[in-house]
Homo-oligomer: A and B are copies of this chain.
Amino acid sequence: MERSQVFNFSAGPAMLPEPVLEKTAAELCNYHGTGMSVTEMSHRGKVFIQIAAEVEQKLRDVMGIPEGYKPLFLQGGATLQFSAVPMNLIGKTGRADYAVTGNFSNSAYKEAQRYGEINLACSSKDRNYSYIPAQDSLKLGPGAAYFHYCMNNTIFGTKWNYIPDTGDVPLVSDVSSCILSEPIDVSRFGLLYAGAQKNMGPSGLTVVIVREDILGEPLPCTPGLLDYRNQIKNDSMVNTPPCFGIYLLGLVLDWVVEMGGLEAMKAYNKEKAQILYDVLDTSDFYIAVAEKDFRSLMNVTFRTRSEELDKQFVKEAAEKGFLTLAGHRLAGGMRASIYNAMPMAGVTGLAAFMRDFEQKNG
């Protein structure tokens, strides 16, 4: 099939902007007349050092990252940060607060327990993670070194509709599935982290943005590579970084700028999501999984009234080029992940298919 015939609704790795892929392909064998691929260059050489510095600056510009924060380009995905965050931050008090609003935040909560005393600040498990607990229901523990939450829950399709107020306790957030999809007020956070493979680039690159003054001594068992201070001191090059991912992130950031920046991305993403939520809200056939106030702009979750119909939906959609729409087994049903790079045509096409499928099977 041609690219134009396919819309890939995968939760990640996910679609990349077509111009980004075309540029990558065009310069893959010879980057800017160096006679080398970007995958072949020494990370300590002038050309790549400049690429990395430019990508850092672009990320600072696009996200409005304030002074005192350092963006790091690391490896291991969000999952490795589930360990690195407590290893680096919990030492001050030995305690941290975790909000559990989905599968990944639950994994982070469980992983953190290896490294200190973890307080469950809230959980939305009672309604299968279909909502986000309110500020006044958060049970903040005493002496937390930080408060951790996952801003957008990829599997259940929910998003925090507020930034928790935790007083002086630094906020740490996994923003894997919403980074670059809309502005984030970085100054409200102690640390943000994200796997790249949804809105930023290929898998294998992990971005961490850390306020340097929250860093103290890491736990003694912390691998040197996971020590943020060490990575800050070495500009993310304690060892060879994931060069191709960093380069590709730069191209994605250029594209975001061309699209008008994060405010424009947000407007575009709202428009796209609304088209699908409108189908859900005007239908007796589809059931929205996430509660209305907490709907994600990135992951639209829904189901029909039977698992059999869900399967049929996914199968028929795929035949029409709307791929990877099966929901995660924990949420069931369907999930349309519509990150930045999903074009409007993919969303309007899916909406039309949904209405058509409802008419035939409703």
Question: Residues of A with Cβ closer than 8 Å to B?
Answer: 1-6, 8, 10-16, 18, 21-22, 24-26, 28-30, 33-37, 39-43, 45, 75-80, 82-84, 107, 111, 114-115, 195, 197, 201-205, 219-226, 238-245, 248, 321, 323-324
A15 CB to nearest B CB, Å = 5
Please, which residues of chain B bring their CB within 8 A of the CB of A26?
Answer: 25
Please, which residues of chain B bring their CB within 8 A of the CB of A223?
Answer: 80, 82-84, 111, 114, 226
In the complex, given contacts A16-B37, A76-B239, what are 19 additional A-B residue pairs having Cβ atoms less than 8 angstroms apart? A1-B33, A5-B35, A6-B36, A10-B45, A12-B42, A12-B240, A13-B43, A39-B248, A75-B80, A76-B80, A77-B225, A79-B238, A80-B223, A80-B239, A195-B239, A197-B243, A203-B242, A219-B221, A244-B244
Cα of A360 to Cα of B15 in the assembled complex, Å? 55
A40 CB to nearest B CB, Å = 5
Contact of A34 among B6, B35, B39, B224 (CB under 8 A): B6
Please, which residues of chain B bring their CB within 8 A of the CB of A225?
Answer: 76-77, 79-80, 82-83
A297 CB to nearest B CB, Å = 20
Instruction: Using known A-B contacts A77-B75, A79-B224, A82-B224, determine if residue A195 contacts B240 with beta carbons closer than 8 Å.
Output: yes
Residue of B nearest to A80 (CB): B225
Please, which residues of chain B bring their CB within 8 A of the CB of A33?
Answer: 1
Cα of A75 to Cα of B78 in the assembled complex, Å? 12
Let me know if A13 and B243 touch, CB within 8 A: yes
Instruction: Using known A-B contacts A42-B11, A83-B225, determine if residue A21 contacts B37 with beta carbons closer than 8 Å.
Output: yes
Q: List the 7 closest pairs (A to B, CB-CB), nearest first.
A: A6-B35, A204-B242, A83-B223, A221-B221, A79-B239, A1-B35, A25-B28
Cα of A119 to Cα of B211 in the assembled complex, Å? 38
Please, which residues of chain B bring their CB within 8 A of the CB of A202?
Answer: 39, 242-244
Cα of A36 to Cα of B362 in the assembled complex, Å? 32
Residue of B nearest to A222 (CB): B114
Please, which residues of chain B bring their CB within 8 A of the CB of A242?
Answer: 75, 202-204, 242
Let me know if A30 and B3 touch, CB within 8 A: yes
Cα of A167 to Cα of B202 in the assembled complex, Å? 44
Residue among A39, A43, A219, A239 with the most chain B CB within 10 A? A39
Please, which residues of chain B bring their CB within 8 A of the CB of A224?
Answer: 79, 82-83, 107, 111
